[in-house]
């Protein structure tokens, strides 16, 4: 994070649980991060574990749950101006 801050801004492209599940459900090369948990429970647990670190690191937080990639890019560009 220190190196990232020295070289630019940090964006956390956050999404709610349903959006994350929809986006990665069919990924063929995504290994399980925890054993014995459902796919949805695993995603939720990882998001909870990482949330505080992501919030502290981010200069900007963008909720991408209902945004297209193009909308996200436009939002980033507008924040960088």
Residue 4 is predicted with a pLDDT of: 92
What are the residues whose beta carbons fall under 8 Å from the beta carbon of 66, sequence distance 6 or more? 19
In the predicted model, is pLDDT for residue 13 greater than 90?
yes
Tens-digit pLDDT profile for residues 63-79: 999 999 999 999 999 99
Give the pair of three-digit tokens for residue 34.
């925890």
pLDDT band at 33 (very low <50, low <70, confident <90, very high): low
Q: Which residue has the tokens 């959006």?
A: 19
Alpha-carbon distance 31 to 20, whole Å? 15
């Amino acid at each position: 994070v220190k190196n990232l801050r020295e070289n630019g801004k940090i964006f956390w492209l956050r999404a709610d649980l349903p959006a994350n599940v929809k986006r990665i459900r069919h990924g063929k090369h995504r290994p399980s991060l925890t054993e014995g948990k459902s796919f949805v429970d695993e995603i939720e647990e990882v998001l909870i574990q990482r949330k505080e670190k992501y919030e502290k690191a981010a200069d900007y937080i963008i909720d991408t749950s209902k945004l297209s990639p193009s909308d996200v890019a436009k939002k980033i560009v507008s924040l960088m101006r």
